[in-house]
């Protein structure tokens, strides 16, 4: 049985080509001896995959949680059930709570989180497809960015990952 996978194509650094900022992020994390953990919803592990595409990533990447369901957000990340009920899973406050939770639970310097509506369906009038919140949290504070506009499922996810990497660089540089 063939897997259909071309070994030569699989060996190519496709993630680093798609996300060149990942190498800058890795270089900074390594130079400053900082660690990071990720909590992802709509990106389904893509941020973690990009962060670990860089050789030597085990020095800064401690782990992550793919938290698609509210139960996982509550149970593994410590997001308050009331917050999920009132603000909804796709919100600035939940993104911040996810980043804080993963940072605390994994004991890292930086926590990154992404939650949103990647599409093509699942959007509502108040939270349309393409709405994504990306958060970075450190011991000294955090920042969350709101992304709007539907670019299509894969582009929505890629945009969120690129934004998370940019926020990680900001956090590592101490720019808040």
Average pLDDT, integer, range 159-176: 93
Confidence of residue 124 (pLDDT cuts 50, 70, 90): confident
pLDDT of residue 123: 86
The candidate with the shortest Cα–Cα distance to 164, out of 79, 69, 98, 88, is 98
Count CB neighbours of 176 within 10 A.
11
| pLDDT tens digits, 129-160 | 999 999 999 999 999 999 999 999 999 999 99
Residue written as token pair 């009038």: 125
Confidence of residue 103 (pLDDT cuts 50, 70, 90): very high
144 contacts 95 by C-beta, under 8 angstroms: yes
Alpha helices (H) along 19-150: 21-32, 46-51, 70-77, 81-87, 92-106
Q: Is the N-terminal amide bond of 120 cis, ω within 30° of 0?
A: yes
Q: Give this prediction's pTM.
A: 0.93
**Residues linked to residue 78 through DSSP beta bridges, in sequence order:** none
HSE of 68, CA atoms in CB hemisphere, 13 A: 6
Which residue ranges form the domains of the chain, and what is each CATH number?
18-173 (3.90.950.20)
| pLDDT tens digits, 34-87 | 999 999 999 999 999 999 999 999 999 999 999 999 999 999 999 999 999 999
| pLDDT at 9 > cutoff 60 | yes
């Amino acid at each position: 049985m063939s897997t259909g996978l071309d070994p030569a194509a699989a060996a190519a650094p496709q993630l680093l080509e798609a996300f060149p900022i990942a190498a800058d992020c890795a270089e900074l994390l390594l130079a400053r001896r900082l660690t990071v953990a990720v909590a992802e919803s709509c990106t389904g592990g893509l941020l973690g995959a990009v962060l670990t595409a860089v050789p030597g990533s085990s020095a800064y990447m401690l782990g992550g949680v793919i938290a698609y369901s509210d139960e996982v957000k509550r149970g593994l990340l410590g997001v308050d059930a009331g917050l999920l009920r009132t603000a909804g899973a796709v919100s600035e406050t939940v993104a911040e709570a996810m980043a804080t939770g993963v940072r605390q639970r994994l004991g890292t310097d930086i926590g990154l989180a992404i939650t949103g509506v990647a599409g093509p369906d699942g959007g509502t009038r108040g939270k349309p497809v393409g709405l994504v919140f990306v958060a970075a949290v450190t011991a000294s504070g955090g920042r969350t960015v709101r992304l709007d506009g539907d670019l299509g499922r894969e582009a929505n996810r890629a945009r969120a990952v690129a934004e998370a990497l940019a926020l990680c660089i900001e956090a590592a540089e101490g720019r808040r």
